[in-house]
Every structure is written in structure tokens, then in C-alpha cells.
Amino acid sequence: MSKDILNLQPASLWKNFYSLTQIPRPSKKEEKVRDFIADFGKKLGLETIVDEVGNVIIRKPATPGMENRKGAILQGHIDMVPQKNSDVVHDFEKDPIDAWVDGDWVKARGTTLGADNGIGAAAAMAILESKDIPHGPVEALFTIDEETGMTGAFGLKAGILKGDILMNMDSETEGELYIGCAGGTNANIRFAYSEVPVPAGMIAFKLSVTGLKGGHSGVDIPLERGNSNKILNRFMWHAERKHGLRLASIDGGSLRNAIPRESFAIVVIPGDKKSDFLKCLEKFQGIVKKELMTVDPELKVEAVATDMPKALIDEDTQKRFLNAVYGCPNGVMRMSNDMAGLVETSTNLAIIKSENGNIRLQCLLRSSVDSAKSDLEQMMQSVFELAGAEVIFDGQYPGWKPNPASPILKTMQEIYQKKWGKVPEIRAIHAGLECGLMGGVYPNWDMISFGPTICNPHSPDERVGIESVQKFWDFLVDTLKNFPQK
């Protein structure tokens, strides 16, 4: 762990971010960081509440002379996406993040950094402990489990918060203000299979697709990066027909909201097909590398001899599974007609895993248009039900409809232009922000989302721009100083 982070400015924000890197906080395992945040508030002598689901709310009164300002809710989530490279030894439930300064960026060594949304949480903490920043009444809302279901936002009760304006600090491009986001749905798919003996004369290989960049399945989906699950299935579909490939097990991807970077399968082929099989794999790797050379230059597709598996997935299920995954929609489905450059609808084939007689798949479907999301659900359902799979949708969350007439938007546009000589870009994001859910519980809120520049969230390449954090902080401080009056 590099403590150079503690020498960065703004010192108060980076100090708190460093503290968060030392506390394991993968989604659904936030107990330690929840207790840390609650103790932080109590030690400051501030009213601190832990609600029924584990969200932490800390209230700080207005500084003298600012009592007539509207109440600000500074919001960020305290969980992080636990992704690492396969050659890195790291236990996200026990080990701190090994963060370090690399020129103009802060990164982590072989794992996600947790700047998403540790920077937002650290900024709220810095405001809470500040003694020289003028502000009206402040409530800091630290939500849990944003990354794997938004259960913190789902569980937020009406009436517990008193503020008027929600400032979500979970968007990832400095100089942009977000006023809308996509809604989402999880597609959970299951193929039941029987185990059958391995035929005589077979040899076994471990297939792997590695070296992809992956990334956030909403923010990075328009980059058209490779999906390791789709690439692996594409090869196996071909090898089944040409070389008699049989599947024993498969394990690809690990998070529903991350584009899968690595996928693995144990397969067998007839011994006399070995030479043709390996030549075919080499040719396939060349084809896919050429297709993805701009976005995923480090792609590798490999086959390594391995021990013979004890059993195989039955041939009928294998065929139905490979066909369905080949036909499964994936990536950008439609661009927005209303906002240039914005993805309207997409889907990500995130996870495939076989065990205990089932192959389970999970896809995250996103859209800013509810009817388009429903259409995509039905498309997905039709593909997999035709293949004899069970399909269940859950975890639905609404989008956040843009409000171009937002008072806080006008205020922040004016502040940004005055400070930096340009008007910030107004955007909606093709990702799930908690604003949509919380706005349903508090329909009176004016809402906005902003943040520093974070690249490649949800992947081990995650990094945050140091200069952008300073600008984000200065913008936050000046906004609080100029907050609208009641």
C-alpha cells in the first residue's frame, strides 16, 4: 500500500478515501465499513442513524449564517465491486486495497480500486468533519449494496431524511452533470443437466478466454469491448460441430454489472481430433484478436491439457445451451433518439457457471425506456425458453427521468462556468443510479449527480484522475456555499 495518497490534495478527502481502502467492503459485505462510518459520525458528535437495511445517515447543522439554505443530502454508496486479475491473490472480505499513485492517477494493483464510490463517500465525510466550509443543513447518506441490487436505496424509508436537494456523487466524468439514468432488470437463466460418463478415447483441455478489459456494463457498454462468455461460447459452438467437443464445466464472469473479462471451460474431444482442434483454436484466436484489436489488444484464447473430468454435461443440454448463448442478445441494442451519444437499451451476458446439475446464467438488462426494457426481457425469454431453460426476472429498478428545469442544475451550471469558464455538459447515464429509486420515495427532491473522472470502473484497470478529484471537491464546496435559499 502506497501512503503517497495522503500527500494529495484535497487532503481531507484523500485521507478519508485512504481509510476506506483499508476496510474490506465488497457488496453485501458492508458490515465493517458501515460500522466505521457510523463511528465516524458519532465521534464528530453528529446525529447518526443506521436504518433497517444498513444505510448510514449523518446530520450536520448549518454553519452560522447559512440556516436559511435548503437542506443538502450528500449521497454515495459504501460498497465496491470486487474484481481482480486471475493471477492476483486477494481476499476482498479480508484484505485492504493496495492503492498507489501513478502519475496523474490513483490505481490499485491488480484489483478494483473502489473509487466507485469511495471518492463520493470520502467527500461527504470531509464535509462532515470540516470546520471552515460554509453550508446549510447537511445530511450525508451512505447507502449499502448499490452494485449488486441497490438494496440500500430499495430499503430507504420515507420521512427519515429531511433535506430538499439530493447530490448523488456517483457519476464518473468531471465536467458533466447528470440528470437522468437507465433502469434495469436481472435475467436469471437456468439449464438443468444430467451428468454422463466420459466416452473412451477422449482427451481433456481447459479452455480460457483472458486479457479482456471488461468494465462497467452500463458506462462502458458503448465501447463494444469483448465479452469473454460470448467469445468462449462462439468457439465451443464451432468445435462441437467440427471436432466433437463435449463440455464438462464452465465458469465465466463474476458480477452482473461488469462486462466479463475471463471465462473458462473444461472440455473433452476425441484424441484423434487434437491436431485439428488446436489449429482451429489458433485460427479462431487470430480472427477474434483482429476483430477486437482496437478495444481489447491483450485478448488470449488458449487450450491447456488438463486432467480428465469425472463426468460431462449431457449432450442434449449442451447443444441447447450453446445454441441459446450464441443467440443471446448482448451489448448495445439501441441508441437514444433524444440525447446524442447516449445508449438507450443494452444487455450484458455477465455470468455463466455450471455446478450441481445446473448451468446458471445472469444478464443485466438496462434501458431508459420502460417499454424497451420490457421488449428486451421478452426477447431474452423467447431465446432461452425455446432452448428449454427456466427464465426468471428480478431486481427491477426504475430509471430517473431528466428534469432540465432543475433549480440545482441551474445553480451548478452557473458556478462551474464562473470557476472554469465553460458550461458543464448535461447528460443522462446508461447505468443505474440510486436517484431513480430514491426519487420515488422522495418525489419532492431536486436531484443531480456529479463526480470526478473514474476510468474503467468495475475492472482491475479502474483509476481516478487526481486533478479531477480536486475540481470535483472545489465544485462541491462552492455549490454548498451558494446553495439555494428555502
Please give the positions annotated as active site: 79, 146
Per the CB < 8 A criterion, the answer to whether 350 and 256 are in contact is yes
**Sign (positive or negative) of CA dihedral 316, 318, 319, 325:** positive
Nearest one of 350, 431, 361, 467 to 117, comparing CA atoms: 431
C-alpha cell at 348: 450484458
Q: Which value, in Å, is the radius of gyration of the alpha carbons in the chain?
A: 24
**Which DSSP letter does residue 212 get?**
-
Nearest one of 17, 4, 6, 7 to 472, comparing CA atoms: 17
Per the CB < 8 A criterion, the answer to whether 269 and 205 are in contact is yes
Alpha-carbon distance of 17 to 96, in angstroms, equals 12
Nearest one of 286, 258, 245, 16 to 126, comparing CA atoms: 16
* Amino acid symbol at 126: A
Which SS3 state, helix, strand or coil, does residue 198 take?
Answer: coil
Distance of CA 78 to the CA centre of its chain: 13
* Amino acid symbol at 295: V
Alpha-carbon distance of 400 to 381, in angstroms, equals 25
Burial of 247 (0-12, 13-18, 19+ CB in 10 A): buried
Nearest one of 74, 55, 71 to 153, comparing CA atoms: 55
Per the CB < 8 A criterion, the answer to whether 5 and 20 are in contact is no
Per the CB < 8 A criterion, the answer to whether 135 and 127 are in contact is yes
- Bridge-based pairing of strands 446-449 and 165-168 is parallel
Alpha-carbon distance of 381 to 398, in angstroms, equals 20
Strands (E), 336-419: 343-355, 358-367, 390-397
